[in-house]
Amino acid sequence: MTIDVATRRTAQAEAASKPVPEIAKVGVVGAGQMGNGIAHVCALAGLAVTLTDVRAEAIEKAMATMRGNMDRQIKRNLIKPEDKDAALARIATATDLTALGDCDFVVEAATENEEVKRSIYKALCPHLKPSAMVASNTSSISITRLGASTDRPEKFIGMHFMNPVPVMKLVELIRGIATDEPTFQAVHALALKLGKITAVSEDFPAFIVNRILVPMINEAVYTLYEGVGSVTAIDTAMRLGANHPMGPLELADFIGLDTCLAIMNVLYDGLSDSKYRPCPLLVKYVEAGWLGRKAGKGFYDYSVDPPRPTR
Ligand code: NAD
């Protein structure tokens, strides 16, 4: 047993006697693809939610997406119409972080950019209750480093939902070096309340899922870049040849190419290994603003049905 493991076990034993903080009111910062999904599952689980974004139009789009996704759940008999009405009534919205002052827990799901996230914590923390816990939904950035930029690193944790949140079962939980055990237990209990299954990852670049998944996507972009196969050939090959439910380029569009590139850069910088260098073609698509589904265009053009490959 290493000293680190021994120290953690002692801390866990001590913390076991401490009460686990209760989470009744959740704040969500960032109302994009992930923020709307997180607000959706929290509200359906009976929690009061305040959803914020700097862009009012992102909040409007998120509310419309939630309504549509809940309608789909009603059609599939997963929820009742009255569950939808009750859940939507539990969601308040704001463009100002001061609205999160009474939250027990805030999960930040803003753009995958460390400076953006740090500036959010700087603006957010002075308005929070001293007991409030904060999580980042980051796909790749160090939880220890993000936590250190807050006034409460011991109450800071990585809570990494998968996309689309209402459908995907997994939540990765990542402790920063300072994260205390009551925070871990409270956020673990929240994940279970949301009907999720957790996997615990150590705080290394991109954690578990994206450490494995995003280099595979990057390799698919290299396969396209080098002319080994077309968009259709690559996605068909991986769907039918590896039994993946989506081809890697389709999946890249679904995640967002800016997010994929940001994750590759975190892996490249954080692990200093050239095998993680982002494919120049991925960089070019991001520079063009072809960010995938959310932008209407990426490796596929979504203005036509069925979507047409862009190469
Ligand atoms: P997105 O681009 O759909 O949404 C990001 C939102 O953050 C936008 O609405 C933007 O207006 C908002 N934002 C930007 N700056 C802000 C600020 N200062 N204050 C408040 N809001 C701000 O991105 P997304 O796909 O929802 O990703 C959000 C986070 O979730 C990222 O950290 C990403 O890595 C992570 N994540 C993404 C996926 C995925 O598949 N897309 C999966 C898991 C985790």
Atom of ligand 1 nearest to the CA of 291: 2
Judge whether residue 206 has pLDDT over 50. Answer: yes
Distance from the alpha carbon of residue 109 to the mean position of ligand 1, in angstroms: 5
pLDDT at 18: 78
Catalytic residues, by residue number, are 139, 160, 172, 210
- Beta strand segments in the chain, E: 25-29, 48-52, 91-94, 105-108, 133-136, 156-161, 170-175, 197-201, 300-301, 308-309
Looking at ligand 1, which residue's alpha carbon is closest to its atom 17?
54
Q: Using alpha carbons only, what angle is made at residue 183 by residues 178 and 187, rounded to the nearest 5 degrees?
A: 130
Q: What is the mean pLDDT of residues 110-132?
A: 97
Judge whether residue 4 has pLDDT over 70. Answer: no
- Over the stretch 36-66, which tens digit does the pLDDT of each residue have? 999 999 999 999 999 999 999 999 999 999 9
Pick the CATH number of 211-299 from 3.40.50.1000, 1.20.1250.20, 1.10.1040.10, 1.25.40.10: 1.10.1040.10
Say whether 156 sits in a helix, a strand or coil: strand
Distance from the alpha carbon of residue 17 to the mean position of ligand 1, in angstroms: 36
Q: Is 158 in the pocket of ligand 1 (CB under 6 A)?
A: no
Residue 286 pLDDT class (50, 70, 90 cuts): very high
pLDDT at 11: 59
Can 5-201 and 211-299 be said to share one CATH topology? no
Atom of ligand 1 nearest to the CA of 138: 32
Q: Is 62 in the pocket of ligand 1 (CB under 6 A)?
A: no
Judge whether residue 151 has pLDDT over 50. Answer: yes
What average pLDDT does the structure give for the chain?
A: 95
Looking at ligand 1, which residue's alpha carbon is closest to its atom 7?
110
Specify which residues 228 forms β-bridges with. none
Can you read off the two tokens belonging to residue 153?
Answer: 């690193």
pLDDT at 19: 84
Looking at ligand 1, which residue's alpha carbon is closest to its atom 39?
255
Locus of tokens 């997406």: 65
Pick the CATH number of 5-201 from 3.30.420.310, 3.40.50.970, 3.40.50.2000, 3.40.50.720: 3.40.50.720
